[in-house]
Amino acid sequence: MPPPPLFDLSQIDFDKPLYDLDEIRKINPQRYEMEQLTAIVHVDTENHAIIGYKDVTDDEFWIRGHMPGYPLMPGVVLCECAAQLAGFYSRKYNLLEGDFLGFGGVEEVRFRWPVYPNSRLILMARLTELRGRRAEFQFQGYVKETMVFCGKMMGVPINRILIPAPSKPTDASPSTAVDGATDTSN
């Protein structure tokens, strides 16, 4: 049996987004085929909850291979959609520090109905716990009135790590051959 809906979707105006794709891009770092949100339509900062959607099109990167001749939105992509929604809320309202919000884990995920191209996937997430360096969310996805997936996820902050440029060999160090192998004949 599915859990009760996080929101009464009949009370939400999907024609007047609070944040469109351009506004989402100011918060979320994902680009190109990994952008999995179209709009945010409701934010409830008092209850730490958010509603958005993804318009699933015929141009999705997974169409050709999952499944050939019968495209089904992969479950991992559904979870990514929910994670981007929760990530938007976490970063917009400064729940956690860090450059990005990354997946820390998922639990109790259930896929209840397939999602096909040319569907609007409605996404809901609610913060259930904020502890130290992690935020936990309950999430649900709907197509029309049908719950298609649900579960719990954990988000953790990720900081960019600056990778130092490789150092140049010195006279005291072994020389490096053209193919990258170290010349130890000295």
Alpha helices by DSSP H, the chain: 21-25, 75-92
Catalytic-labelled residue, pool 66, 120, 134, 152? 66
**Cα–Cα distance, 169 to 105 (Å, whole number):** 42
**Cα–Cα distance, 36 to 126 (Å, whole number):** 18
Pairing relationship of beta strands 119-131 and 39-44 according to DSSP bridges? unpaired
The upper half-sphere exposure of residue 166, i.e. CA atoms within 13 Å in the direction of its Cβ, equals 4
Go through 90-107 and write b for each residue having 16 or more CB atoms within 10 A of its CB, e for each that does not: bbbeebbeeebbeebebe
Query: Is 48 considered catalytic here?
Result: no
| Residues designated catalytic | 66
